[in-house]
Amino acid sequence: MPSVRDLRDRIRSLKNTQQITKAMKQVAAAKIRRAEEARKRARPYADALAEMLADLMAAVSSVDHPFMKPGNESAPAGIVLMSADKGLAGAFNSNVIHAGETFARGRSGVRYYTVGVKARNAVRRMGVSEHPTWPLGASKIVTAREVANRVAEDFVHGTISEIVVVSQKLVSMMSQRPETRKLVPVLAEDLKAFAGTDTDQPAAARGAVEFSPSPEFVLSRLLPKYLEFTLYSAMLETDAAFFAAQLVAMTNATDNASKLIDELTIAMNNARQAAITKELLEIVGGAEALGVE
């Protein structure tokens, strides 16, 4: 049975841990509000971009752009695996890494592009030591542009056959779900999933739009922006989902620490009472022994 001193040390250690988890909980609560606001500010642009691309795809019969053509069938798929830079968020990072592994398992070969320190470390553990990687915590718009340019260049040169992003989707504050989306080659149903735009509606129902100098020219210029902004939107979503997961994890850790402190306090009181009772019995026994003599 642990001594009173051991139990007191464990309680002190748990209280220190509880202070840390409570502070991290407050930090996550503050950061998730900013991340959620950034995600909401980007949403109108995403909707407008997807709707415009849907209009253009409906207006043109064909366009000479690599994103609209099938990739090199003999090349591996390109996976943009997106995670957080830090942990202490429950199964947040492991779930998205598992989703990437599940997607790769059904293919003969894949090429990884990782965003986030945890994704980079996971891919290295898979045996892929050299691969393009970026941190999530840097300037997201700059990172999204760099990632988009790199994967687009590899797709155009036939290094990869398709561009797939695996990232976390914020369902609610209590729930985050890994999501796998194919970005290139670009299909109308992908645009529908991107912003919830009903691309089955006729163009007239959404309003007549004139494109200059031609729909084909505008579409060829918008497709790279679509890839870049989709990656940027996924980074904002990952950021918000991470802080939501960390908030839940730190709340649970703080509550569990409180329960353990209460249980150890009761155990310490019982141990102290047992020690006092033992000493009293020893004193009484000693007194009786002296009286007998």
* pLDDT tens by residue, 102-160: 998 878 889 999 999 999 999 999 888 788 999 998 788 999 999 999 999 999 999 99
For residue 103, tell me if it sits in a domain. yes
User: Across 40-49, 61-70, 247-256, which has the greatest mean pLDDT?
Assistant: 247-256
What pLDDT does 20 receive? Answer: 93
Helix (H) or strand (E) holding 2: none
Contact partners, residue 137, CB within 8 Å, separation at least 6: 85
What pLDDT does 7 receive? Answer: 87
What is the rounded CA–CA span in Å between residue 102 and residue 92?
A: 16
What pLDDT does 193 receive? Answer: 56
Beta pairing class for 77-82 and 110-115? parallel
For residue 266, tell me if it sits in a domain. no
For residue 21, tell me if it sits in a domain. no
Reported as a single tens digit per residue, the pLDDT across 70-98 is 888 889 999 999 999 998 888 999 999 99
What is the rounded CA–CA span in Å between residue 144 and residue 233?
A: 9
User: Across 43-52, 170-179, 217-226, 244-253, which has the greatest mean pLDDT?
Assistant: 244-253
What pLDDT does 68 receive? Answer: 79
Reported as a single tens digit per residue, the pLDDT across 42-65 is 878 877 887 777 777 776 666 677
Residue 67, pLDDT above cutoff 90 = no
Per mean pLDDT, which range of 1-15, 52-66, 143-157, 185-199 is the poorest?
185-199
For residue 13, tell me if it sits in a domain. no
Greater confidence (286 vs 212) lies with 286
85 DSSP assignment: S
Residue-by-residue DSSP string for 176-233 = EEEEEEEEES--HHHHHHHH---TTS-HHHH-----SS-HHHHHHHHHHHHHHHHHHH
What pLDDT does 253 receive? Answer: 92
What pLDDT does 185 receive? Answer: 85
What pLDDT does 292 receive? Answer: 54
Residue 198, pLDDT above cutoff 50 = no
Residue 192, pLDDT above cutoff 60 = no
What is the rounded CA–CA span in Å between residue 274 and residue 282?
A: 12
Contact between residue 80 and residue 179 where contact means Cβ atoms under 8 Å apart: no
Residue 14, pLDDT above cutoff 50 = yes
Residue 206, pLDDT above cutoff 60 = no
Q: Partners of 217 in the beta sheet? A: none
Q: Which two tokens stand for residue 204?
A: 């007239």
Instruction: Give the ranges where the chain is alpha helix by DSSP (H).
Output: 4-59, 92-105, 117-125, 140-156, 188-195, 203-206, 215-292
What pLDDT does 191 receive? Answer: 59
Count up the domains in the chain and report the number: 1
Q: Which two tokens stand for residue 269?
A: 């009181």
For residue 19, tell me if it sits in a domain. no
- Domain residue limits at 70: 39-242
Q: Which two tokens stand for residue 267?
A: 């155990």
User: How far from 113 is each of 78, 117, 251, CA to CA, in Å?
Assistant: 7, 12, 33
Q: Which residue has the tokens 């260049």?
A: 153
For residue 275, tell me if it sits in a domain. no
pTM: 0.80
What pLDDT does 128 receive? Answer: 83
Contact partners, residue 212, CB within 8 Å, separation at least 6: 218
For residue 102, tell me if it sits in a domain. yes
Per mean pLDDT, which range of 69-78, 199-208, 250-259 is the poorest?
199-208
- CATH code: domain of residue 226: 3.40.1380.10
For residue 114, tell me if it sits in a domain. yes
Instruction: Characterise 103 by phi-psi region: left (phi > 0), alpha (psi -120 to 50), beta (else).
Output: alpha
The backbone torsions φ and ψ at residue 52, rounded to the nearest 5 degrees and listed phi first, read -65, -40
